[in-house]
Amino acid sequence: MSQDEWRTHRLELDDQTLREWDAVVLASGEDGIVLDRSAFYPGGGGQPPDHGVLLWGGVQTRIVDARKGDDLFLIPAEGDPVPPPGTAVRGAVEDDRRTALMRTHSGLHVLCGVVFRDYGSLVTGGNMEPGTARMDFNLPEVPPGFKEAVEAACNAEIAVGRRIDVRVLPRDEAFEIPDIIRTATNLVPAEVKDVRIVDIVGLDQQADGGTHVASTAQIGRIEVVKVENKGKGFRRLRIRIAD
């Protein structure tokens, strides 16, 4: 079943700064907890799920994971009380973790944009934790000074404070953007009618369901920690986000 049919309204897709909200439990049990409205990012596109709490009836339920099935299920910490269906809860996303993930995720977009612009390389994979990430590129040769040059170019893009915009376009319109065809044609399932575009204005556009900061200036500093050769034309760049 597609995410379009989930009963949960995804608040974080509209407002990436939202950290607290009111919700009602639609279902709860072995599978997890389903809310009518949630700002918990459930994971995807290399970005891990949010952590946080649900507050209700004087107790708290820690949320430590999410599962994407017929519905969006929030996974409670083992042993925590679980709110029954119909309960009004206050949801809160753990800010430190989410903000670090937003900075890291946005940093990966800058890296992706810079490596494509300067070396013509396409991304073949990636993953992130709060503050660290890796991204894989199709890059046959690693020119001398590559690591330092990429790091400097990324930090130059951060220094100019490029806007990071989010907009939702009908599928056909979205795939007329050349950048989107480059990165996502085969990644967006056919049944998805509206495509969310994350645009680092002037640098990089992607079809993307993750959370990002509003300006490259909020990323901090990108350190390219390592460039690994993983075989024929396959390079893995490891980055760290510093303050």
Q: Where does this chain bind Zn ion (CB under 5 A)?
A: 208, 210
9, 38 contact by CB (below 8 A): yes
The nearest distance, CB 198 to Zn ion, in angstroms, is: 5
Task: Quote the distance between the C-alpha of residue 181 and its chain's center.
Answer: 19
Nearer to Zn ion, 32 or 107 (CB): 107
DSSP per-residue string spanning 133-156? EEEEEE-S---TTHHHHHHHHHHH
The nearest distance, CB 173 to Zn ion, in angstroms, is: 19
Nearer to Zn ion, 130 or 210 (CB): 210
CA angle (191 as vertex; 190, 195 as ends), nearest 5: 80
Q: How far is CA 37 from CA 26, 99, 114, 170, in A?
A: 10, 20, 36, 24
The nearest distance, CB 98 to Zn ion, in angstroms, is: 14
The nearest distance, CB 29 to Zn ion, in angstroms, is: 32
CA gap 197, 205 in Å, rounded: 7
The nearest distance, CB 172 to Zn ion, in angstroms, is: 22
Question: What is the bridge-based pairing of β-strands 132-138 and 122-129?
Answer: antiparallel
131, 106 contact by CB (below 8 A): no
The nearest distance, CB 148 to Zn ion, in angstroms, is: 25
Q: 146-159 vs 95-119: helix axis angle to the nearest 10?
A: 120
Nearer to Zn ion, 32 or 45 (CB): 45
198, 47 contact by CB (below 8 A): no
- For residue 117, the surrounding DSSP H or E stretch is helix 95-119
For the record, the structure tokens of 229 come out as: 């050769």
Nearer to Zn ion, 42 or 210 (CB): 210
Nearer to Zn ion, 151 or 208 (CB): 208
Nearer to Zn ion, 76 or 130 (CB): 130
Secondary-structure breakdown of the chain: helix, strand, coil percentages, each rounded to the nearest 5: 25, 40, 35
Nearer to Zn ion, 12 or 208 (CB): 208
The nearest distance, CB 231 to Zn ion, in angstroms, is: 26
